[in-house]
């Protein structure tokens, strides 16, 4: 295993759009969490599910939840266990170690402690620079806090920064998306992740929409904001290398790129997923169930699925079209490919076709058209 994911499930409150597997806690049970993850690691190693690679660890990603809500000493203890178990090189910065952080958790002291523990990349949940929108999202920070967090991280020596932004929020919020992009770019992050707002069942947002207190998603707004972001980011030298992710030269997320190129990874913590190249396994999602399973000496797996060769091929095509890798032109019938090029959805170079921004807006439909059908020899 060269790629590790650690899920930290705790959040101070639930954001209005979020259906992730989280545990809302005012006080993070840090000792119990560190003990449970260390216990899971011992169990999966004993079961032969977590053999370290001879090439050593390449990436470690702490996601959530809110990993930055863990006290820095708990984070340092976890990283030390994981570096040892997975043969991290002595030069720790050879490993890309990313921490997802919420701006309100970033102080100069915390950032310095994270840097000393081995964190060298932070993905900051900015989401918007409009305080009214942040409050509507139930975020716990304001725009000024995001700027302060970026300054503290840089002062502490963490220069590899990514900002998350959410677009296509309801029109009635009067959010100025162009202004939000300018605010983000003014902070000069190395990387940006842009996610369109989606409505998930059982979230506050879904309830607001069902009783008419918020408007339903608007596809035109989604497309217009997505395309304008491509245009604006390109002017500052960012390149989209995946449907939602753009970076400056050399600043792609190595960890996420490993997912998208189907490399094996191990996930630890509640709800974490693992993949060995054929079989995907995932952990019990609820924190208490996960903790109890580990305490009873059981690998806290919830379920697993093994992909057939056809399913793997479909997934490979889907992932390749979501990224700038694209696919060989031979995988698509010539007349279909000509139609897609004519519509402005893909471009062709070096015998591969790759989505344009307009193509990424409909990538699921394009992949569906690539599924072999009984009446089609080619695509």
Give the CA angle between residues 365, 370, 372 to the nearest 5°: 130
Closer CB to ligand SF4, 14 or 87, in the complex: 14
Closer CB to ligand SF4, 8 or 43, in the complex: 8
CB of 289 to ligand SF4, least distance (A): 18
CB of 294 to ligand SF4, least distance (A): 22
Closer CB to ligand SF4, 65 or 170, in the complex: 65
Distance CA(38)–CA(11), nearest Å, equals 21
- Strand boundaries in 189-270, DSSP class E: 191-196, 239-242, 245-247, 266-268
Distance CA(267)–CA(153), nearest Å, equals 26
Closer CB to ligand SF4, 67 or 247, in the complex: 67
CB of 277 to ligand SF4, least distance (A): 28
Q: At what angle do helices 72-85 and 30-46 cross, to 10 degrees?
A: 10
Q: Which of 112, 33, 46 is nearest to 78 (CA)?
A: 33
* Tokens read off for 370: 């690539």
Closer CB to ligand SF4, 15 or 327, in the complex: 15
Establish if 195 lies at the interface with ligand SF4 (CB under 6 A): no
Do residues 156 and 114 lie in contact, with contact meaning Cβ atoms separated by under 8 Å? Answer: yes
Give the CA angle between residues 148, 153, 155 to the nearest 5°: 95
CB of 99 to ligand SF4, least distance (A): 13
CB of 10 to ligand SF4, least distance (A): 8
Q: Which of 50, 51, 59 is nearest to 94 (CA)?
A: 59
Distance CA(177)–CA(134), nearest Å, equals 13
CB of 318 to ligand SF4, least distance (A): 25
Sites for ligand SF4 among residues 67-126 (CB under 6 A): 102
Establish if 254 lies at the interface with ligand SF4 (CB under 6 A): no
Sites for ligand SF4 among residues 121-150 (CB under 6 A): none
Sites for ligand SF4 among residues 153-182 (CB under 6 A): none
Distance CA(233)–CA(127), nearest Å, equals 16
The binder of ligand SF4 chosen from 6, 8, 11, 143 (CB under 6 A): 11
Question: DSSP states of 176-192 as a string?
Answer: -HHHHHHHHHHT--SEE
Question: DSSP states of 20-43 as a string?
Answer: S--EE-SS--HHHHHHHHHHHHHH
CB of 159 to ligand SF4, least distance (A): 24
Establish if 66 lies at the interface with ligand SF4 (CB under 6 A): yes
* Tokens read off for 291: 């903790």
Closer CB to ligand SF4, 64 or 189, in the complex: 64
Establish if 286 lies at the interface with ligand SF4 (CB under 6 A): no
Give Cα 356 distance to the centre of its chain: 21
Closer CB to ligand SF4, 141 or 317, in the complex: 141
Closer CB to ligand SF4, 124 or 183, in the complex: 124
Establish if 247 lies at the interface with ligand SF4 (CB under 6 A): no
Sites for ligand SF4 among residues 12-31 (CB under 6 A): 14-15, 18, 20, 22
DSSP state of 248: S
For ligand SF4, the binding residues (CB under 6 A) are 11, 14-15, 18, 20, 22, 64-66, 102
């Amino acid at each position: 295993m060269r790629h590790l994911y650690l899920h930290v499930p705790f959040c101070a409150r639930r954001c209005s759009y979020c259906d992730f597997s989280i545990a809302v806690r005012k006080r993070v049970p840090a000792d119990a969490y560190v003990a449970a993850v260390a216990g899971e690691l011992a169990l999966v190693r004993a079961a032969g599910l977590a053999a370290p690679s001879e090439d050593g660890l390449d990436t470690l990603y702490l996601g959530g939840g809110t990993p930055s809500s863990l006290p820095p000493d708990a984070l340092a203890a976890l990283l030390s266990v994981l570096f040892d178990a997975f043969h991290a090189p002595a030069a720790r910065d050879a490993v890309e170690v990313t921490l997802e952080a919420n701006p309100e958790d970033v102080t100069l002291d915390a950032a310095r402690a994270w840097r000393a523990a081995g964190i060298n990349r932070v993905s900051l949940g900015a989401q918007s620079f409009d305080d009214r929108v942040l409050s509507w999202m139930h975020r716990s920070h304001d725009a000024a806090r995001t700027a302060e967090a970026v300054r503290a991280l840089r002062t502490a020596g963490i220069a590899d920064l990514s900002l998350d932004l959410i677009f296509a929020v309801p029109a009635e919020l009067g959010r100025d998306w162009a202004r939000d992009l300018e605010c983000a770019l003014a902070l000069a992050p190395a990387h940006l992740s842009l996610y369109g707002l989606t409505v998930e069942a059982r979230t506050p947002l879904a309830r607001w929409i069902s009783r008419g207190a918020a408007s339903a998603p608007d596809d035109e707004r989604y497309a217009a904001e997505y395309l304008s972001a491509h245009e604006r980011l390109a002017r500052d030298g960012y390149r989209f290398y995946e449907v939602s992710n753009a970076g400056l030269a050399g600043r792609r997320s190595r960890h996420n790129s490993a997912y998208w190129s189907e490399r094996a990874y191990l996930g630890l913590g509640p709800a974490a997923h693992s993949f060995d190249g054929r079989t995907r396994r995932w952990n019990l999602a609820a924190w208490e169930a996960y903790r109890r399973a580990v305490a009873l000496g059981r690998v806290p797996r919830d379920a697993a699925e093994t992909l057939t060769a056809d399913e793997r091929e479909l997934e490979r095509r889907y992932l390749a079209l979501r990224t700038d890798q694209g696919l060989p032109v031979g995988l698509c019938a010539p007349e279909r490919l000509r139609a897609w090029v004519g519509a402005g959805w893909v471009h062709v170079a070096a015998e591969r076709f790759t989505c344009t921004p307009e193509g990424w807006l409909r990538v699921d439909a394009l992949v569906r058209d690539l599924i072999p059908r009984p009446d089609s020899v080619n695509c």
